[in-house]
Amino acid sequence: MERARRKVRVGIVVSDSRDKTITVEVRDQKRHPRYGKIIPVRKRFHVHDETNDANVGDTVRIVETRPLSKSKRWRIEQIVERAR
């Protein structure tokens, strides 16, 4: 049996104050079901960062994983771009 593909998201780190955990905000655009207007949507994820390598403002790629705590279901895969 083959394992399902893991969801991947790209977002910006908005908090790194906790140990081995960062908060990543993923922004997207969605069309309103009735009126058709494009609506900005933002979602925040608690992400496991084993090496405490990511800082606020970095763009990171995160991947879905097994539950690591009450709120953490994602882990950092790659730091795409460092904050300036």
Residues 6+ apart with CB under 8 A from 27: 11, 12, 40, 41, 42
The residue with tokens 């494009």 is 38
Each residue of 3-15: pLDDT tens digit? 889 999 999 999 9
Distance CA 58, CA 22 (A): 11
Q: Is the pLDDT of residue 69 over 90?
A: yes
Q: Please give the mean pLDDT across all residues of the chain.
A: 95
Average pLDDT over residues 47-66: 96
Query: Domains (ranges, CATH) in the chain?
Result: 8-81 (2.40.50.140)
pTM of structure: 0.88
